[in-house]
Structures are given as C-alpha cells and as structure tokens.
Structure 1
C-alpha cells in the first residue's frame, strides 16, 4: 500500500490534520489550498474512505482520519527527530525575532553567554513590533510584547516585570512622593501596556494631562530619562543596565506602589524544526531571568 501512496499526499494530510484547515496546511507547505485538497482526495481515493469532514472554514478528522493521524503523526515526529539528529553534526542557526526594546536593552548584551553555553549555535536576531508568523519559515522563535497571536505555538511567560518611575540621579532629590511628579516632565511611552494613568491610579491619584516628550519605544524613553530630560515610567528589567551603572534611579522605591505584570513571552511553533536549539534557548532565557521552570523537551 505504501508504495502506491505519494508521500506528498501523506504530508498534506498530516499538515491539514495538525493545523485543522487546508489553508493552514497550504501556508505551511507553500502550496495552494486547492492543491492540498486535491492531494488529500487522492489519498482518500487510494484508501477507499474519507479522512476529513469538510466545513466552510475548517475541517475535522473522521474516525478513520483520526486513526491514520495517530500513526502518521508518530512517523513524522520520528522523521523530524532523525533529521535533527543528523543536522546536529553541523552548525545550527537559531533565527530569533524580538520586540525592539527587549532586544536592545536585555537580550543582545546577554547573547554571548548563550553562544558560549551552546557550542555550534549561531544566532540571527531581528527586532520589530510585528509578530513572527512562522508559516513562512523565516524565524524559529519570537519574543513578543503583550499577548501572542497565532495557533499551534508554545507560549512561555518570561516572568513578572516591575514598572516604576525612573529618572537621572540629579532629579531624584526633588521627588519624594507621587504628587511630586506633577512638577516633572513625564516621558510618555505610547506602546506600553502600563501607562502613567495606570501608575497614578494605583497610587490613588489622577494623572496630569500628557505633555512634553512621547516615544513609541521603551529604549528611547529610557535613554531620554538617563540624559536627565524627564521621568520615564519603565520596566526595571529593560533599564537594568542604566540602573546598575547609576544613570537611572527609582526615586519612589519603597515610597509608592509599583506595577508588576508579565510583559514579554517567548513563542515558538510546537513543531519547530530547530526543536532542540529552541528549547535550549528557552531554558537558558528562563535561567537568565531567574524564572522557575524548564521547557519540556520533545
């Protein structure tokens, strides 16, 4: 039977069963939905039984399809393992996409540690506010700000971040209470989930009207605050180098309520071709952040 069934049809069946749609399979395999549908119909004709119940937008496996998928899924997983095992003898390229401020402020300075720990791995890092889609195979993993998008991905929260007012040491002496911020230039970060109005509300105050400077990237707000031009409401994780170097301080530490939230998440496909390297990176970044837990291997 196997010699009469094209491997391309089996591949189309596995992708459609895993993604739940012919369109999802087509995107993954770089085919048209009609080509995927045609390949699956040929497979169904060869087997003499329908494998999918077809709806307007999605497809569902029939009992026969579910039975076949149990075997095909295991077979493709073993094939992936074999290919990865052979590929490990050469150099791995880990293609990372990352939110810009996290990339510039936190990740890039630490990447040499990961490269030292994982011999034979090369990292290619791209930063942007768009989400990596993975269907075009451009990236192996993405560090996103906010809630991730897409199906068929694993999401690893990267721990809580503390958001607090930050300023240059020269300004800190005049900021003793939250109300003292009314007399300061408050640097606005337009793309942040936690804004000045949120911080003032937590501290029982109403935020003043926005004025002064506004940025769409945290690293710009952090740099401007470090230059003494105002007070930024930013993550201490993203600003940790400036804090450690004494260029920024938290004038209200212990005097006001901070905001803590999970801002960033690591996202990667469940069926990543670079499974071992991606999971090694996930374990490494959790350890660097001091976040408990380990990403299960596959």
Structure 2
C-alpha cells in the first residue's frame, strides 16, 4: 500500500487533518486549496477509504482519518528528529527538561543571558514533575526537584542551598508581629514541597499549624497567591527571588525564626554522549546564578 501512497500526499493530509481545514493546510504548505483537495481525494481513492467528512463550511475526520492522523503525526515527528540529528547545518540544540516552578521562576527570566553568551544555541524546554529519561535521546539535561535516585550514568550538580520560610505581601506583613500570628492568618500550602507548614511550626516550637486555607500543586502558583495577598506561603527564597527583589513579597520573620535550609534542585546530565559538552556549558552557567 505504501508503494502507491506518496510522502507528499501524506504530508498534505497530516496538515489538513491537524489544522481541520484544507484552506489552512494550503497556506501552511504554500499550495492552492484546490491542490490540497485534489491530493486528499487521490489519497482516499488509493487507500479505498474516506478520510474526511465534508460539508459546505467545514471538514471533519472520519474514524479512519483519525487513525491515519495519529500515525502520520508520529511518523513526521520522527523524520524531523532524524533530519535534525544528522544535519550539518542544524543549530546547537539543548533539549532541557525542568521542574515547572524552577522553569517559570528562575530559568525563564535568565535564559536570554545564556543565549547571549552562547550564540547559535537553541534551547528547547519541557516542564513536568517527572524525571527525564535520557535513554531515548529526548533530553540532554534535567533540572529536578529532589536528588535523582539513579545516578550511575549521570553527572549530578546541586544547585545551591534554598531557604524555605514564610513569605507574604508587604500588606499582610504589617499584621504579623510574631510567628504566633500565623495561626490567625490564611496559610497557603504547596502540595509537592518537601518542607511543609508542620515542619516549620515544629522547628519553631509553635505546635500544630492550622489547616491551610488553600493549596496548590505548583510553587509558582502559591507564590502568585501570596503576592496577591491571599495568604502566607511557605516557600523557597530561590523560587521567590524575583518577587523578593521587587518588594512584592517579604519574609516577615527573617532572622527571627528557624527556617528550613536544604538543597532543593539538582541539574543532571549524562556522563557520555554527543551533547555532553553543551550540557556542561549549561551546567557551568546555571550553577553560577
């Protein structure tokens, strides 16, 4: 069947199916709408199956079209990666995986500096709470929250100590005379934080904290809520550095209480591989923050 199905017709189909429009596909591929329509009609004839349901105003994939789209999308992505890997004209590409809050609060604002210092380098960032898998070649480096467990084939670099302390807006800070005042104010919980309010209250002899008024599964959301005076967050000074420097957040008990200190984030990258030199250049830069 592949012998009678051209790669160009599959490319036209993939574009039209992804965009949901023959006209949009024509614009993307620099073809006429008529050429797109004729190519898809021929593909349907060659395959012996309808790929689209057509009306006067729109086109919609049939079940067969949906199946073909899933496979063609994966196939063209694999082709793109293959061409990218062997092309002598490709830019230096750093594929980076990163913990979401570190990506939003720390990495993104500083990336222009890295790109300026390393002309010709392109950085592609994906953010999630899972650890990157390097065996499939999707990533060259990973900034993770918590020390990686399987590190036999990795270089792991700690990214410095973080201080986890109560942070709030300047308006709320005026109402906090002592740490016990926290009991009567709304507390914000960061669900995935290794240090929680119960740890901070225990370290400062305050007993059991009240239930949080709200909780978030990302630190940057908790920091945003605290910036908007919705409550008091127990958060990292590293993740909150921009808000602290701008005066949007303050640490009301700095120097007056026992705060939790730990190394929260690590950079990991493979010990071997073609991208090791670029990953090391990124590691040297990020550890100099």
- On whether the aligned pair clears a TM of 0.5, the verdict is yes
Structure 1 residue aligned with 2:130:
130
Segments of structure 2 that go 5 or more residues without pairing to the other structure are 1-85
Structure 1 residue aligned with 2:274:
273
Within-5 A mapping of 1:135-284: 135-150=135-150, 151-284=152-285
Q: 1:89: how far off?
A: 7.8
Structure 1 residue aligned with 2:94:
94
Work out whether residues 96 and 141 of structure 1, in 8 Å CA contact, stay in contact via their aligned partners in 2.
Answer: yes
The list of structure 1 runs, each at least 4 consecutive aligned residues, that deviate by more than 6 angstroms after superposition, is: 86-89
Q: 1:209: how far off?
A: 3.4
> Per the alignment, do residues 127 and 180 of structure 1 end up closer, same or farther by CA in structure 2, a change over 3 Å counting?
same
Q: 1:272: how far off?
A: 2.9
Q: 1:207: how far off?
A: 2.8
Partners of 1:205 and 1:213 lie apart in 2 by: 20
Work out whether residues 166 and 251 of structure 1, in 8 Å CA contact, stay in contact via their aligned partners in 2.
Answer: yes
Within-5 A mapping of 1:67-78: none
What secondary structure is seen at the aligned counterpart in 2 of 1:112? helix
Segments of structure 1 that go 5 or more residues without pairing to the other structure are 1-85, 289-298
Partners of 1:212 and 1:112 lie apart in 2 by: 37
| RMSD of aligned Cα (Å) | 1.6
Q: 1:90: how far off?
A: 5.3
Work out whether residues 92 and 121 of structure 1, in 8 Å CA contact, stay in contact via their aligned partners in 2.
Answer: yes
Partners of 2:129 and 2:248 lie apart in 1 by: 27
Partners of 2:273 and 2:216 lie apart in 1 by: 35
Work out whether residues 188 and 210 of structure 1, in 8 Å CA contact, stay in contact via their aligned partners in 2.
Answer: no
Partners of 2:240 and 2:209 lie apart in 1 by: 24
Work out whether residues 131 and 149 of structure 1, in 8 Å CA contact, stay in contact via their aligned partners in 2.
Answer: no
TM-score, scaled relative to structure 2: 0.68
Work out whether residues 177 and 255 of structure 1, in 8 Å CA contact, stay in contact via their aligned partners in 2.
Answer: no
Work out whether residues 177 and 256 of structure 1, in 8 Å CA contact, stay in contact via their aligned partners in 2.
Answer: no
Deviation string for 1:177-196 (max 9, x for gaps)? 21110011010111000111
Q: 1:210: how far off?
A: 1.6
What secondary structure is seen at the aligned counterpart in 2 of 1:101? helix
Count of residue pairs the alignment pairs up = 203
What secondary structure is seen at the aligned counterpart in 2 of 1:144? strand
Q: 1:245: how far off?
A: 1.3
> Per the alignment, do residues 140 and 245 of structure 1 end up closer, same or farther by CA in structure 2, a change over 3 Å counting?
same
Work out whether residues 183 and 210 of structure 2, in 8 Å CA contact, stay in contact via their aligned partners in 1.
Answer: no
Partners of 2:213 and 2:112 lie apart in 1 by: 38
What secondary structure is seen at the aligned counterpart in 1 of 2:288? helix
